[in-house]
Chains A and B, each alone.
Chain A
Amino acid sequence: MQDTEDRAESDQALVERTAAGDREAFAALYRRHQGAVYRFARLMTGSPSAAEDIVQEVFLVLMKDAARYETERAALTTYLFGVARRVTRRRLLRERRFVDMSAGHGTSRWDVTPDASAAIERRDALQQLRCAILSLPSRYREVVVLCDLQELSYETAAASVGCAVGTIRSRLHRARRLLATKVRRADGAHGVARAVMRCAV
């Protein structure tokens, strides 16, 4: 019921109530948008714990800036991804390393597929894709995450990143080519490993 009420109210109204100090409005905004921010941060850092910190930081920024946020200038999603991007980049710069993605990241609907072998192969393929995305330079990684995985429009992604729509298009094109090359290489290596395993069995 609460969830239905949350969805009925626009982001703009909730931000205004948040700025006025309404705790429930802020909680509703958090529940509505935290998932997208969390997934963005996790794909960008490869670390669930870093993503949790980033979600926290993003919503603390919203809490402090709600009064100054101008709803006419950009959608809340754009604003939140913009903040998440800045926080993530600062964190990556500070740490200058990527964290292992294996810990606590393996739960997906593929795990319940009846065909265990196919499920493992799909899970491996997704893990390879996550690693390939992580190995992209951050300016390419963020457009893949925003446009291909979060399904933002080019305009929204451009507003979040703070660049022209044409830049997003060209970065995405380049990013997909790089990603395809990396996945192809990983598939090749994986295919050899599978063949070796079969021979060993």
Chain B
Amino acid sequence: MTSHDDHLAALVDALRDAESGDAAPAHVEAAVMRAWDASHAAHTPARLSTVSQFASLAAGAVIATGLTLLGGHLRFATAVRPSPAAETSPTVILVGEPILAGEHVRLVRMRMPAATLHALGVRSTALSTNDVDVDVVVGEDGVARGLTLNP
């Protein structure tokens, strides 16, 4: 073994000693245990009795029907009476994968020609001007999750 090897071995030993007591901060444990609680709270309905399951199913059907009717009503209202405020308020367009729970996202603001968005298939009456401000929600993998148009 050369003196360089000895030197490296001593350094590695020193680094191992220096790092031996290091651990993840307490907030990481808190986050992990929160995830445990959330996961196991979500599984609780699986243990409900048959009667409870049937009641849940019926309630779900009622809610689904209600939401469907409400959605139809909203679509009708939007089509018939477009609000003037909607012309100027930001328009949110979801693209790509949905944002996962707990996913870290970045918000990038940029200005681009409206024609660029037209070319991407984004059509909006708000895109009448030449340049448009766009807030892009970017996911952890660098792919856009959503756009907000600020006419």
The judgment on whether A and B are partners is: yes
Taking beta carbons and an 8 Å cutoff, which residues of A are in contact with B? 21, 23, 26-27, 30-31, 34-35, 37-39, 42-43, 51-52, 55-56, 59-60, 63-64, 94, 108-110, 122, 125-126, 129-130, 144, 148-149, 151, 176, 179-180, 183-184, 187
A34 touches B24 (CB 8 A): yes
Known: A23-B37, A129-B12, A148-B16. 5 other contacts (CB 8 A): A30-B32, A34-B28, A38-B24, A52-B24, A59-B32
Asked whether A184 and B28 contact (CB < 8 A) given A21-B40, A148-B12, the answer is no
Chain A residues, Cβ within 8 Å of B97: none
A109 touches B40 (CB 8 A): no
Tell me the minimal C-beta distance from A83 to chain B in angstroms.
14
A126–B10 alpha-carbon span in the complex (Å): 10
A183 touches B18 (CB 8 A): no
12 sampled A-B residue pairs with Cβ under 8 A: A23-B33, A35-B21, A35-B22, A35-B23, A39-B22, A52-B24, A52-B25, A56-B32, A63-B32, A126-B15, A148-B12, A151-B16
Our pick among B12, B24, B140 for the contact of A51 (Cβ within 8 Å) is: B24
B29 touches A23 (CB 8 A): no
Chain A residues, Cβ within 8 Å of B27: 52
Chain A residues, Cβ within 8 Å of B17: 109
Q: Which of B1-45 contact A (CB under 8 A)?
A: 4-5, 7-8, 11-12, 14-19, 21-25, 27-29, 31-33, 35-37, 39-40, 43
Chain A residues, Cβ within 8 Å of B22: 35, 38-39, 42
Question: Is chain B's interface secondary structure helix, strand, loop, or mixed overall?
Answer: helix
Chain A residues, Cβ within 8 Å of B16: 148-149, 151
Chain A residues, Cβ within 8 Å of B7: 183, 187
Chain A residues, Cβ within 8 Å of B33: 23, 26-27, 30
Tell me the minimal C-beta distance from A114 to chain B in angstroms.
17
Asked whether A129 and B15 contact (CB < 8 A) given A52-B25, A180-B8, the answer is yes
A43–B20 alpha-carbon span in the complex (Å): 12
Nearest 4 pairs of A and B residues by beta carbon: A108-B18, A35-B23, A38-B24, A55-B24
A179–B4 alpha-carbon span in the complex (Å): 10
A55–B14 alpha-carbon span in the complex (Å): 24
A30–B30 alpha-carbon span in the complex (Å): 11
A57–B28 alpha-carbon span in the complex (Å): 10
Asked whether A55 and B28 contact (CB < 8 A) given A122-B14, A149-B12, A183-B11, the answer is yes
B28 touches A56 (CB 8 A): yes
Tell me the minimal C-beta distance from A153 to chain B in angstroms.
15
